[in-house]
């Protein structure tokens, strides 16, 4: 503090030059006691840990640079699972309306924050990996976590933009003229980073460190990456086998299982379940997030954003939200008669909401004020997995905007995802359909409702016979039903080649094209990287 107080008076005296004393070089040459530079940082395990926490931070951003950027939102609204919604103007959040209607261009307001968020995460991860000036087993673990994060951010970029530039080192200020790498190069980078991480990451962390990457998370992400790579590389059975190998290792760890009650996954305050949560985005109410936050808020903005718009105050559990991510009739009708429990966990309608109000002893003249909702996108259905619970009231304990400090976490990989991906990889790789159906049955038994349902649920084999499905068609059914409103739908459609105009109606169908499988890289980004193409060329796949 002494240097900060006297720095400017000393310089001022020397500049004036009117005093009979001289300025000593020693007096001016002071160490920046309260400043850290790259040359005098990362010299302790604690400093490397701080940098690692900064690298984790963008995982949880649901808003950045003034825009909502959730992969949950994008994966649902871009697909046939949901409409954008919002207020009655039909122009609430225009960037998202463009995503929904396939009218977005390289000037869309949201695509650049999605791109920027992930490269900020990559830059921070690279700093942890390269900049440490201390060597220890603890720092090696931090670097393994950073490699997991670098793989995660590259994977998220690929799912949005297709083959993107790989950044695997700390860039100098002038190193901005990047170009796209091929799909093979991107997935090689992702899987190499994950292999390095798997070798060092523990199966679990202490209670105070829950949410950090584990061996199971790295294995599951590697399995998912190989699955995407295999699917988009001509249904490569070798890569499907690699996916199965990694996902089987998650199962063999013996630390995961499905929660008995599907509903319990989405209750208020449910976070980091030891059984089913493999990796999830951490959200917090401990920081005063508000509308002027420049980078990413720490709360889960999706909870308020996707809450039921115009909901009556008498509902016993929910308060009104802003009405985004409205499930489509197509999604509601997707669920078969034996799958209503899973449907009702994901989707509500006005009748259900009214029944809940009546059961609580209350009443409403109007359960949902439809005049507040988007008349074009309104379907009569509302998502419930990211419910806007009344219990979040007062959650902004340290200040900030209440709507932005709701701290429910976001699932990135659940154990059910591991089981269904493993079933798919076994079927499409080695062709082990018997084992694949066993894993599907674990998911289907839980879907029938809490308790022991092994005597009264429709098995995979029975469902295939009843609905005349192939095993792959059953897997696609399960993935859409299990992860409804959680954000995987669009990415599943794209990687499996099933995204096409026939899934949509009206303007959305007519606007769809093969090019729209990927977001264009923004005009802003191309201005600083002239070799960066707006869309990926077919030769990159």
Separation between Cα atoms, residue 188 and residue 226, nearest integer Å:
10
For the packed helices 415-428 and 237-253, what is the interaxial angle rounded to 10 degrees? 140
Separation between Cα atoms, residue 352 and residue 317, nearest integer Å:
13
Once rounded to an integer, what is the mean pLDDT over residues 325-352? 97
Separation between Cα atoms, residue 225 and residue 183, nearest integer Å:
11
More confident residue, 415 or 393: 415
Query: Which of 6-10, 384-388, 439-443, 476-480 is the least confident region?
Result: 6-10
- 491 to each of 197, 255, 337, how far by Cα in Å? 24, 27, 26
CA 401 to chain centre: 22
Mean pLDDT over the full length of the chain: 91
Once rounded to an integer, what is the mean pLDDT over residues 504-529? 95
DSSP string computed for 236-279: -HHHHHHHHHHHHHHHHH------S-GGGGGSTT--S-TTTEEE
Predicted local distance difference test score (pLDDT) of residue 175: 87
Q: What is the pLDDT of residues 524-538, one digit of tens each?
A: 999 999 999 999 999
Separation between Cα atoms, residue 142 and residue 144, nearest integer Å:
5
Give residue limits of the domains in the chain.
2-35
Separation between Cα atoms, residue 522 and residue 510, nearest integer Å:
23
Once rounded to an integer, what is the mean pLDDT over residues 515-523? 97
* 19 pLDDT more than 50: no
* 22 pLDDT more than 50: no
Coil, helix or strand for 411?
Answer: strand
* 40 pLDDT more than 90: no
pLDDT-derived band at 269 (thresholds 50, 70, 90) equals: very high
* 157 pLDDT more than 80: yes
Once rounded to an integer, what is the mean pLDDT over residues 336-360? 97
pLDDT-derived band at 4 (thresholds 50, 70, 90) equals: very low
- 309 to each of 20, 129, 528, how far by Cα in Å? 74, 45, 40
Residues in a beta bridge with 277: 414
* 119 pLDDT more than 90: yes
Pairing, β 410-414 against β 347-349: unpaired
């Amino acid at each position: 503090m002494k240097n900060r107080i006297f720095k400017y008076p000393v310089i001022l005296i020397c500049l004036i030059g009117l005093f009979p004393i001289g300025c000593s070089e020693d007096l001016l040459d002071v160490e920046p006691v309260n400043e850290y530079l790259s040359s005098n940082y990362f010299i302790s395990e604690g400093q490397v840990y701080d940098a690692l926490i900064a690298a984790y931070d963008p995982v949880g951003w649901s808003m950045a640079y003034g825009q909502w950027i959730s992969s949950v939102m994008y994966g649902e609204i871009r697909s046939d699972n949901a409409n954008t919604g919002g207020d009655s103007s039909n122009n609430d959040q225009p960037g998202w309306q463009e995503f929904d209607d396939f009218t977005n261009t390289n000037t869309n307001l949201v695509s650049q924050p999605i791109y920027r968020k992930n490269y900020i995460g990559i830059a921070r991860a690279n700093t942890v990996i390269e900049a440490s000036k201390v060597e220890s087993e603890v720092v090696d673990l931090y670097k393994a976590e950073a490699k997991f994060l670098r793989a995660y951010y590259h994977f998220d970029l690929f799912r949005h933009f297709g083959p993107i530039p790989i950044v695997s080192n700390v860039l100098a200020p002038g190193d901005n003229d990047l170009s796209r790498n091929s799909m093979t190069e991107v997935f090689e980078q992702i899987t190499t980073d994950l292999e390095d991480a798997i070798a060092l990451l523990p199966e679990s962390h202490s209670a105070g460190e829950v949410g950090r990457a584990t061996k199971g998370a790295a294995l599951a992400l590697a399995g998912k990456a190989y699955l995407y790579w295999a699917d988009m590389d001509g249904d490569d059975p070798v890569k499907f086998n690699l996916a199965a190998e990694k996902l089987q290792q998650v199962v063999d760890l013996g630390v995961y299982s499905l929660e008995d009650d599907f509903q319990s996954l989405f209750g208020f305050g449910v976070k980091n379940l030891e059984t089913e949560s493999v990796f999830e985005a951490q959200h917090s109410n401990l920081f005063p997030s508000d509308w002027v936050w420049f980078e990413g808020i720490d709360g889960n903005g999706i909870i308020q954003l996707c809450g039921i718009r115009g909901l009556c105050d008498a509902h016993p559990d929910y308060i009104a939200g802003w009405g985004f991510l409205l499930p489509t009739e197509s999604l509601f009708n997707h669920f078969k008669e034996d799958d209503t429990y899973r449907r009702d966990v994901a989707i509500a309608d006005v009748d259900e909401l009214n029944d809940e109000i009546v059961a609580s002893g209350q009443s409403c003249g109007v359960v949902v004020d439809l005049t507040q909702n988007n008349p074009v996108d309104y379907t009569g259905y509302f998502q419930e997995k990211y419910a806007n619970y009344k219990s979040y009231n007062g959650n902004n304990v340290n200040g900030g905007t209440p709507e932005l400090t709701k701290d429910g976490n976001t699932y990135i990989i659940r154990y059910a995802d591991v089981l269904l991906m493993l079933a798919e990889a076994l079927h499409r790789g080695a062709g082990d359909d018997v084992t694949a159906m066993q894993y599907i049955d674990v998911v289907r038994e839980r879907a029938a409702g809490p308790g022991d349902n092994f005597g009264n649920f429709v098995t995979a084999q029975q469902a295939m016979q009843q609905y005349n499905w192939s095993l792959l068609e059953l897997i696609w059914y399960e993935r859409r039903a299990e992860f409804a409103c959680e954000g995987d739908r669009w990415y599943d459609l794209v990687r499996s080649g099933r995204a096409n105009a026939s899934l949509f109606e009206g303007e959305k169908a007519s606007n769809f094209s093969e090019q729209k499988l990927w977001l264009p890289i923004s005009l802003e980004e191309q201005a600083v990287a002239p070799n960066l193409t707006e869309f990926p060329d077919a030769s990159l796949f």
